[in-house]
Structure 1
Amino acid sequence: METKMIEGGHNNAMTALEALIIGHSPAAQHLREMIRRVARSNASVMLCGPSGSGKELVARAIHDEGVRSGKPFAAINCGAIPGELIESELFGHEKGSFTGATARRLGHFEASEGGTIFLDEIGDMRFDMQVKLLRVLEDRTIVRVGSSEVRGVDVRVISATHQDLDSAIADGKFREDLFFRLGVVVLQVPSLASRVEDIPALIRHFQRKMPGEAKCRFEDAAMALLMQHRWPGNVRELRNFVERASVLHGGETLGADDVAMLLNPTAAFAPRYAAPISFVPTPTGLEESAAPAAAHGKAPAPGRPIDLKREIETIELEQIHVALDLADGIISEAARLLTLKRTTLIEKMRKYGVHQQAA
């Protein structure tokens, strides 16, 4: 069987944009063309697409291709900042304006003067903050927390979300007027599943900075399996897969069975004889597709009790770790994968002592 080597290479003809947006699929080529077009203006851009598809990378590419390329680029995850601090993070504050404000601090808008500010997960922004952001976009001015002085700002705003904002607007959770201000241009970032032909190039890209002994080879059947995978975590999941493969199988030639194990983050670190645990979200979020005892190979023995509560908690904990890995630590995305509310997932993480930065 022919074995293909996936390793780093260098193409001197590659443009800066091609170096950022990897691949030559129709979806990747269309995305690069749209980036070139929107980069020529200062219009606000909203990036829509699934989590992990590379929206921040697209935002940076728009910045780098435009006239603001030599100015600051700031990326802020609106879902990762506590609601009570986001105003200070964006607009700054004066000394003594609230407990802990021991000195004057510039917000991201002032610090990004002349450049671009990228507001990721804009759908998670509190409703009252949406009003203040709208005022900034309309007037191009900000007011620091604890101050009454109005300051002009010259910043291009690019935002992103994986949420359905039409539904959020209909439910009264997102302002329609803010959506129109943010989405002068709406750009769809494709999922990895819609550009699977780019997977070999993306693997080469992720392996480029790895030492030779850490790079893996993939048999044809293994690569075919990668291109058949659903990739719910998109490019982020593929990057994690490549890193996991380099840690566990650096320098080896991987077959389809190896790839199947590596695509399951829990099973990849388990002994080969252990039954892999499949991540199958259900309406309640954390149940397995098989019975809990059977999933762990612990069928009830005659006359011997099983601690069902403990078994279920073990499954919950494993699925939480799997979801966080797929979501690259982003709690809101992990909660979506588990079909849980974000607050419910945080409560369960506290229960099991899972320490993860809130996002």
Structure 2
Amino acid sequence: MERVLTLPESPAAPLSIRAKALVFHDPGSLDLLQDVERIAKSEATVLVIGETGTGKELIARHIHAESGRTGPFVPVNCGAFSETLIDAELFGHEAGAFTGASHARAGWFEAANGGTLFLDEIGDLPLSLQVKLLRVLQERQVVRLGSRRGIPLDVRLIAATNIDLARAVEAQHFRADLFYRLSVATVRLPPLRDRPADILPLARHFIATYCVRLGRPLLSLTPQAQQALLSYSWPGNIRELENVIHYALIVSGDDCITERDIKLIPLSGGAPTGQDQKLVVGGLGAGSLRDAANVSAPSSETQAASLPPPAADEWTALAEAFSQLLRKGETDLFSRIEETLIHTAFAHAGENQVKSAKVLGITRNMLRTQLKRHGLLTTGDDQIEPV
């Protein structure tokens, strides 16, 4: 028996922002699906826990579909709004409630009335709004900003997180009372590496999907390509697998996908899988999609000429260090420089993610991807820190 959950088709959506399919083939996955469908029949608030890219929204959508609720399924990413905006987005506002509020507007809770509200990245919700969310859950009504009148609600709440909320409670980043209120029914989605029997069925699903989009006949996986997929740890989970398959179909020239077409990013920072040893910059699907490019070794003269012009003594010294490494023929240089920079910046910022991201000039999500890739952050440690 095999079950497949997919997101609604949306051609305008970005290619790699979330897991778009979830296959239940592994015995553990099938047991999990049975538990999920039992939970769906109740009215219990659900907390879905899992790493990025494991399919938390797919589980939430399935719970809604199986619940019998006739209202809409409304997904909201709590990390996508600033602290000043998310209050009005969730709970709504009246005209004149704040500067720029020229007319009244319903929030996401009201939009989901009669249906299901899915709050993704619930761990990013500010403490001040956690109090309001708890009150809404207890009183089953919402009060818009600028109003004193409660609006009755019939909304089922499903929350999701990729962090350990119990540890967040201990660190006083998340309210204990809200945690217990959310976790009436908890669904823990295992990472892809812990359900290996799902890997090849998922790969075949994505092959079928992208062959249609690319106008290609259905391709198969060679035994060597299958082994490459099964032996990889998939830090980016289903989302990463989708991107790997998509790329393999783009570069494959035969009627099958070979090991050469499978481009993976080993956690150890070693050379990518594949006989032609292409350098994959950043990683396909592990948080951010980068370009894959063929890299050949230029001459020493070309290397020196391509170095950036010095802007200060420190930059001159750094450029000279790079030049020496290139002349020595160091391999895997990009990955090692990236790892060194991430380690150094994280230590410099006192292992604070927000400060590290600011120093490096990247987003916090991008930083977390790099920290996990280089072994500086585990799922349980994610986001549990002072800002």
Shorter-normalised TM-score: what interval?
0.7 to 0.9
AA at the equivalent of 1:23: F
- State the partner residue of 2:238: 235
2:25 is the counterpart of 1:24: yes
AA of the residue aligned to 2:360 = K
Q: Does 1:52 align with 2:64?
A: no
Tell me, which stretches of 5 or more residues in structure 1 are unaligned? 1-12, 280-294, 324-338, 355-359
Secondary structure, aligned partner of 1:174: coil
Residue of 229, 254, 257 corresponding to 2:257: 254
Residue by residue over 1:287-324, the C-alpha shift from the partner in whole angstroms, topping out at 9 and shown as x without a partner, is: xxxxxxxx9968989xx797564588x959x959xx9x
SS in 2 for 1:96: coil
Q: Does the aligned pair in 2 maintain the 1:93–1:106 contact within 8 Å? A: yes
**The 10-residue stretch of structure 1 (248-257 or 200-209) with the greater mean CA deviation from structure 2:** 248-257
Percent of pairs with identical residues: 37
Aligned ranges 1:126-165 → 2 under 5 Å: 126-165=126-165
1:35 Cα deviation after fit: 1.1
The code of the aligned residue for 2:357 comes to L
Q: State the partner residue of 2:40.
A: 39
**Residue 17 of structure 2: aligned partner:** none
If asked which structure has higher relative contact order (CA below 8 Å, sep 6+), I would say 1
> Which residue is equivalent to 1:120?
120
TM-score, normalised via structure 2 length = 0.68
Cα deviation 1:199-239 (Å, max 9, x = unaligned): 22112222333325175432101101101100001111111
The 8 Å contact of residues 94 and 147 in structure 2, kept in 1 or not, is answered as: yes
1:92 corresponding residue in structure 2: 92
Count the aligned residue pairs: 302
- Tell me, yes or no, if structure 1 residue 344 matches structure 2 residue 352: no
* Structure 1 residue matching 2:199: 3-state secondary structure: helix
Q: Structure 2: which 5+ runs fail to align? A: 8-20, 284-294, 308-315, 323-332, 343-350, 367-387
| SS of residue paired to 1:102 | coil
Cα 1:103–1:248, aligned 2, differ >3 Å: closer, same or farther? farther
The 3-state SS of whatever aligns with 2:187 is strand
Q: 1:250 to 1:346 in 2, by over 3 A?
A: farther
Mapped to 2, the partners of 1:200 and 1:226 lie a distance apart of 8
- In the TM superposition, residue 196 of structure 1 has moved relative to its aligned partner by 1.5
Q: 1:135 corresponds to which letter in structure 2?
A: R
TM-score between both structures, scaled by the size of structure 1? 0.73
Aligned-partner Cα distance in 1 for 2:27–2:181: 29
Whole-angstrom CA distance in 2 between matches of 1:256 and 1:208: 18
The equivalent of 1:82 in structure 2 is 82
Which position in structure 2 is the counterpart of 1:199? 199
1:56–1:274 CA distance, 2 compared to 1 (3 A): closer
CA positional deviation for 1:94: 1.3
Following TM superposition, by how much is the alpha carbon of 1:64 offset from its aligned partner in structure 2, in angstroms? 0.4
Partners of 1:262 and 1:216 in 2: CA distance:
19
Assess, with a 3 A threshold, how the Cα gap between structure 1 residues 346 and 37 changes in structure 2: closer, same or farther: farther
- Distance in 1 of aligned mates of 2:147 and 2:154: 20
Distance 2:101 2:33 in 1: 43
- What's the offset of the Cα at 1:57? 0.4
